[in-house]
Amino acid sequence: MFAFVLNNPFPSREEKEKGLKAKLIEDIRWLRCDIKTTSLLGNILLNDDAVTSGYQTTILSRNGVITEGSTANVFVVTPDGTIKTPPLNQLCLPGVTRYITLELINQLNWSVAESEFSENELFGAQEVWITSTTKEIFPVTQINDKIIGKGVGGVYWQKIEPLYQNLIS
């Protein structure tokens, strides 16, 4: 057995406003990504690819359709203001922060869809977020070489972030 501890502080508001740089990578993992196992080697290798290329996170795509991040769930705000996140299936691990984010979106009466979306929709989104326990709701402001939105946390994120912080504080 091998174990180690890693200090992973929660991101500050300023870090979140600046956003993350993500690398879009083909999802080559096995077909049961919805099962949290003790071996997430595929996720680790894909995330390492992004980090060693100068990015901070990974967004995964399988056959042109977004599945999830290597360590997070993914949300987009479409040009018409609909918020989309991939549906829970064998290609997506259900996250607690994803669930909370969906609840907050419903409380705000925003249009939301748990549905597939393409790489083109990802790059054309007003906003992109990843959600996870350690990242919370974190804007992605650059994917590969493309700036998303205005290159900072957008107006939807600005509204949902304080609600999320209220819940966890």
The CATH number of residue 150's host domain is 3.20.10.10
Q: Which of 36, 135, 146, 159 is catalytic?
A: 36
- Residue 167 host element (H or E): helix 155-168
In a domain, 2, yes or no: no
Mean pLDDT confidence for 81-98? 93
Tell me if residue 142 falls in helix, strand or coil: strand
In a domain, 125, yes or no: yes
In a domain, 113, yes or no: yes
In a domain, 6, yes or no: no
In a domain, 5, yes or no: no
Mean pLDDT confidence for 78-86? 98
In a domain, 8, yes or no: no
In a domain, 1, yes or no: no
Beta-strand runs (E) in the chain: 20-26, 57-62, 65-69, 73-77, 83-85, 112-114, 127-132, 136-143, 146-147
DSSP letter for 169, please.
-
How many domains is the chain partitioned into structurally?
A: 1
Q: Please say if the pLDDT value at position 63 is more than 90.
A: yes
36 is catalytic: yes
Q: Which residue has the tokens 């996140």?
A: 85
Mean pLDDT confidence for 115-121? 97
Tokens of 83: 């918020």
Q: Please say if the pLDDT value at position 94 is more than 70.
A: yes
| pTM recorded for the entire structure | 0.85
pLDDT in tens, 12-59: 999 999 998 988 888 877 666 666 665 667 777 778 888 899 999 999
In a domain, 162, yes or no: yes
